[in-house]
Structure 1
Amino acid sequence: MEIGHIGLYVTDFDRMLAFYQQVFGFAVTYIARNDKRSIVFLTADPTSHHQLVLVTGRPDADQHLVNQVSFRLKTLAELRRVYKHLVDMGVGGLEPLTHGIAWSVYFPDPDGNRVEAYVDTPWYITQPHRTTIDLLASEDDIYALTEKLCRDAPGFKTMPVWSEDVAREIQPV
């Protein structure tokens, strides 16, 4: 099972659309605008019609109904490009870190929603875990630092071993 998509109510439709297209390279698969509501379906996966939906109609109150929206990337190089792009865009509140099981950058979108871009690592450690990292460092340095951190942390396993352990615990529905 995996999350198929997430929908967000937005206050500034065009600003949010531009932000997500610039940061993650989303393509528009459907868009409709009228006086009552605007909606857009976005994807960065050619096999998925939409991964993110933006819809007008967010309440004026400073209310965040979603803890975070997380986007799994394929490589550390891709995460580093996203991070550099966010820096170049002047996005504030960037939190580059490792959870041991992933390298991440957390940041606010223009409506203040918490967004995470992340890449899985090949290691597992007991969660929760947060260590700030420098995503502008070399990939070799990031790998070495994270591997040492993981090997020294409680619960260390390689991800394939952890996956086998979890597979035995999952009950069929």
Structure 2
Amino acid sequence: MSQRPGLTFSHIGIFVTDIERQSAFYRDTLQFTQTDRGYLDGPNGPIELVFLSRDPDEHHQIVMVSGRPQNIDFNVINQISMRTDSLRTLQDFHRQLLAAPVTEITPVSHGNALSVYFKDPEGNRVEIYFNTPWYVSQPCRIPADLERPEDELMAWVESHTRTLPGFQPRSEWREEMAVRMARDADRV
């Protein structure tokens, strides 16, 4: 079974304070395409929406909605995560982020993934990651040097991952999860 039938995650919507700055960041730095833009009537007047996607099969993967208050004490978004197609892509994005209007750029290894975390222009935490071929028990967070050559970086990840609890090839972990998810789906 490749995924559970009936429900597939598609997109996220976030309220923003400065829709121009936020949508420009996601378009220019993270290379999303604006697929639509418009207004709806909201409870306190018109709200603006910007739809963004990197996948032509998805009208939008992120929708930004105006109306987020300027001063809030707590950001309810823990993180917005996006998977890269290769380690090189992750490293390229890391270099681009170093010159972008973002803060708290933090490259880490989770054992099962290499990630770069950062705060977008409005302080939402974003993760860009690349899956490794291994699994380890989570949570796991170890600082990583993404400036290493790809082969050295992967050798380092494998070396430290083999010492962590739960280590196994990702393929074995995936098989276990497929069985567990099928069993869970049968209980419904």
Same fold (TM over 0.5): yes
Coarse TM-score class (shorter-chain normalised): over 0.9
| In 2, Cα distance between equivalents of 1:159 and 1:4 | 24
* Other-structure match for 1:36: 46
* Other-structure match for 1:140: 151
Structure showing greater Rg = 2
Q: Output the amino acid matched with 2:142.
A: T
Q: How many residues align?
A: 173
* Other-structure match for 1:92: 103
Alpha-carbon distance, 1:109 to partner:
0.7
| In 1, Cα distance between equivalents of 2:178 and 2:39 | 45
Is the 1:93–1:107 contact (alpha carbons within 8 Å) kept by the matching residues of 2? yes
How far does the alpha carbon of each residue in 1:4-47 deviate from its partner, in whole angstroms, 9 at most, with x for none?
11111000110000111122210011011588221111000111
Q: Output the amino acid matched with 1:5.
A: H
| In 2, Cα distance between equivalents of 1:2 and 1:147 | 31
* Other-structure match for 1:45: 55
* Other-structure match for 1:17: 23
3-state DSSP of counterpart to 1:116: strand
Calculate the TM-score normalised by the size of structure 2: 0.87
* Other-structure match for 1:165: 176
Q: Output the amino acid matched with 2:17.
A: T
Q: CA RMSD in A?
A: 1.5
Calculate the TM-score normalised by the size of structure 1: 0.94
| In 2, Cα distance between equivalents of 1:2 and 1:138 | 35
Asked whether 1:61 is paired with 2:67, we answer no
Q: Output the amino acid matched with 2:166.
A: G
Asked whether 1:102 is paired with 2:113, we answer yes
How far does the alpha carbon of each residue in 1:102-127 deviate from its partner, in whole angstroms, 9 at most, with x for none?
11000001111111111111000111
| In 2, Cα distance between equivalents of 1:137 and 1:88 | 19
| In 2, Cα distance between equivalents of 1:119 and 1:22 | 21
Is the 2:36–2:52 contact (alpha carbons within 8 Å) kept by the matching residues of 1? yes
- Corresponding residue to 1:74 among 68, 77, 85: 85
Q: Output the amino acid matched with 2:163.
A: D
Identity of aligned residues (%): 40
* Other-structure match for 2:4: none
Alpha-carbon distance, 1:91 to partner:
2.7
Alpha-carbon distance, 1:60 to partner:
2.6
User: Gaps (5+ residues) in structure 1?
Assistant: none
